């Protein structure tokens, strides 16, 4: 194939590159080389990659080119370079979860998602930074440094799909896969100016992906455009009988949904979330008002609606998800807590204070929340709210913030339907601002349709972060902040120590302070979930038989 060789191959969208490859005007090999060259030049400033699989990528690109030249063109992802958050298992390629405890782990099988992308002919460039086991904030005490934001390298990328956000924004991958348990696709998409989709729970298999929370994990794409997001989703969606949560439903043509026409669609605005419960800066509010004007100008009907307060959803998600995370990592935490980073410990250790009844209460309350929102889906095609941003400074993060603040993204993990983050402008400092589009379960196509129409009507996809490939940049990390001693009575500290010992945990003084700091928040969350319930008022939790005739 001839090489088009423009200076900005790394800024082509997937759709643009796919059309050139299909027309034999662009070589997958040259495209892959362009990205590998870009990674070598720019990634030392960003730390997006934990591992670059250059040799395998070029082999896959050569095979893709050979197949296409022989007439075996598999579709729009054939020959497209992409990267993976390093929680996706890759056969024969190290998969670490960005954790010291798994830094030498090499899987023998691919995740279902990886296998689907291989079958589509996509080219894997490497494995991307995350937060430890897809949990926590930026950590400065792990074997690899945290990823930096391409729009300002002193700022946070968002988490936990931090490397995925940085890589796509900086032109180090055409697309990436992330995961979203409480916002971990949408947060970095928002702070890095991308499109990030948390698909409907069960739409994409999670088999072969490091588990954060069985109940709340979603795998999904992160791309520069909505069209690219739809292209990847079309390849990933589908039933996996080996994932118990996988939905056996027909997969629609997500690309066909991108008509640009949203006339008559009814959209509910969750203004209370971003103005009262999780207040966003004035610049985000202004950008949201401008985005609403665009949607109305495109013919959508927008009116304000309300759902539960964001803190209610945070209570359910955190009590449930931290319990499940602890169950996954209990053996490692008991054997050697010091092998984990402090940010991970500052969240996960507190699960020893969550009682079985608290976990069950969270699951039961979640079912109530999902049922409460059903009437909204009879009236509205989608909901919208603000996303996070602008990006904070990287060294401003403190673990305790996880426990102190509700989130704009977490409610939609609890509700389980699709939620997409996209750019709606920039701050005066040039930092991306964002909006979320939320849909009813399995209405992913409608969410993409609305986001695509907005994207077409606005100029934001024409702006990329300015990165000088020749620039030198200090990646010195700040010291790990000391945990703030928890102001709790001595008797309560003794009780916490007893619970930790009974759980088989051997904690040093610093680790114990992390546990104590979280304790008041765990107690408050669990207490809010202890509402009176009748004996016969709730006939199930989350378990049900599937696959049986008549069920």
Q: Collapsing DSSP states into helix, strand and coil, what is residue 488?
A: coil
**Closest by CA position to 81, among listed 34, 46, 128:** 34
Beta bridge partners of 393: 155
Place of tokens 């309300």: 306
Measured CA angle at 98 (ends 247, 415), to 5 deg: 30
Q: Which residues contact 356 (CB under 8 A, 6 or more apart)?
A: none
Q: What is the pTM of this model?
A: 0.95
Distance in angstroms (rounded) separating the CA atoms of residues 221 and 330: 30
Structure tokens at 101: 């405890």
Say if residue 180 is exposed, middle or buried (CB neighbours under 10 Å; 0-12, 13-18, 19+).
buried
Q: What is the pLDDT along the chain (551 residues), one digit of tens a residue?
A: 544 444 589 999 999 999 999 999 999 999 999 999 999 999 999 999 999 999 999 999 999 999 999 999 999 999 999 999 999 999 999 999 999 999 999 999 999 999 999 999 999 999 999 999 999 789 999 999 999 999 999 999 999 999 999 999 999 999 999 999 999 999 999 999 999 999 999 999 999 999 999 999 999 999 999 999 999 999 999 999 999 999 999 999 999 999 999 999 999 999 999 999 999 999 999 999 999 999 999 999 999 999 999 999 999 999 999 999 999 999 999 999 999 999 999 999 999 999 999 999 999 999 999 999 999 999 999 999 999 999 999 988 899 999 999 999 999 999 999 999 999 999 999 999 999 999 999 999 999 999 999 999 999 999 999 987 766 666 666 666 666 666 788 999 999 999 999 999 999 999 999 999 999 999 999 999 998 877 666 656 655 545 444 43
Distance in angstroms (rounded) separating the CA atoms of residues 127 and 176: 10
Distance in angstroms (rounded) separating the CA atoms of residues 109 and 183: 27
Contact 433, 423 (CB under 8 A): yes
Mind telling me the catalytic residues?
85, 160, 184
Distance in angstroms (rounded) separating the CA atoms of residues 523 and 147: 33
**Closest by CA position to 153, among listed 478, 473, 481, 480:** 473
Distance in angstroms (rounded) separating the CA atoms of residues 500 and 492: 12
What is the spatial order of strands in the sheet that 301-304 belongs to?
Answer: 49-52, 123-128, 81-85, 175-180, 218-223, 195-198, 419-426, 432-438, 382-386, 266-269, 301-304
Distance in angstroms (rounded) separating the CA atoms of residues 542 and 507: 34
pLDDT at position 481 is 64
**Dihedral angle over CA of 276, 281, 285, 288, nearest 10:** -110
């Amino acid at each position: 194939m001839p090489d088009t060789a423009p200076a900005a191959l790394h800024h082509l969208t997937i759709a643009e590159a796919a059309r050139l490859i299909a027309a034999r005007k662009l070589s997958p090999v040259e495209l892959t080389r362009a990205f590998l060259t870009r990674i070598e030049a720019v990634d030392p400033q960003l730390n997006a990659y934990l591992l670059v699989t250059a040799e395998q990528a070029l082999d896959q690109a050569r095979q893709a080119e050979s197949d296409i030249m022989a007439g075996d063109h598999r579709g729009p992802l054939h020959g497209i370079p992409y990267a993976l958050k390093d929680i996706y298992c890759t056969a024969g390629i190290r998969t670490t979860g960005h954790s010291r405890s798994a830094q030498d782990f090499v899987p023998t099988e691919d995740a279902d998602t990886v296998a689907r992308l291989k079958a589509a002919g996509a080219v894997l460039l490497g494995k991307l930074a995350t937060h430890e086991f897809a949990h926590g904030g930026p950590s400065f005490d792990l074997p690899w440094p945290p990823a930096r934001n391409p729009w300002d390298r002193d700022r946070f990328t968002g988490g936990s799909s931090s490397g995925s956000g940085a890589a796509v924004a900086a032109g180090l991958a055409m697309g990436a896969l992330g995961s979203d348990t409480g916002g971990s696709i949408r947060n970095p998409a928002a702070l890095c100016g991308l499109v990030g989709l948390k698909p409907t729970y069960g739409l994409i298999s999670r088999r072969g992906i490091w588990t954060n929370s069985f109940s709340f994990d979603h795998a999904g794409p992160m791309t520069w455009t909505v069209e690219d997001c739809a292209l990847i989703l079309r390849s990933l969606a589908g039933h996996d009988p080996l994932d118990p949560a996988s939905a056996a439903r027909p997969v629609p043509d997500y690309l066909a949904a991108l008509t640009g026409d949203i006339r008559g669609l009814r959209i509910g605005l969750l203004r209370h979330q971003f103005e009262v419960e999780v207040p966003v800066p004035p610049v985000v509010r202004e950008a949201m008002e401008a985005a609403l004007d665009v949607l109305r100008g495109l013919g959508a009907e927008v009116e304000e609606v309300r759902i539960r307060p964001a803190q209610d959803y945070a209570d359910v998600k955190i009590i449930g998800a931290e319990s499940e995370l602890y169950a996954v990592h209990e053996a490692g935490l008991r054997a050697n807590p010091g092998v984990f980073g402090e940010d991970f410990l500052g969240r996960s250790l507190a699960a020893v204070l969550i009682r079985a009844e608290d976990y069950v209460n969270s699951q039961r309350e979640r079912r109530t929340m999902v049922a409460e929102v059903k009437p909204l889906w009879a009236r509205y095609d989608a909901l919208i709210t603000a996303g996070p941003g602008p990006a904070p400074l990287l060294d401003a993060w403190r673990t305790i913030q996880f426990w102190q603040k509700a989130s704009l993204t977490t409610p939609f993990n609890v509700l389980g339907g699709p939620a997409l983050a996209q750019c709606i402008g920039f701050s005066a400092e040039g930092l991306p601002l964002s909006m979320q589009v939320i849909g009813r379960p399995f209405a992913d196509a409608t969410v993409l349709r609305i986001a695509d129409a907005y994207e077409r009507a606005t100029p934001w996809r024409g702006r990329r972060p300015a990165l000088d490939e020749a620039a030198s940049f200090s990646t010195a990390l700040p010291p790990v902040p000391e945990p703030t001693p928890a102001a709790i009575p001595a008797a309560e500290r003794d009780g916490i120590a007893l619970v930790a010992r009974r759980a088989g945990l051997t904690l040093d003084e610093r680790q114990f302070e992390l546990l104590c700091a979280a304790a008041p928040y765990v107690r408050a969350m669990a207490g809010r979930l202890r509402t009176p319930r009748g004996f016969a008022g709730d006939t199930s939790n989350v378990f049900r038989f599937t696959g049986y005739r008549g069920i």
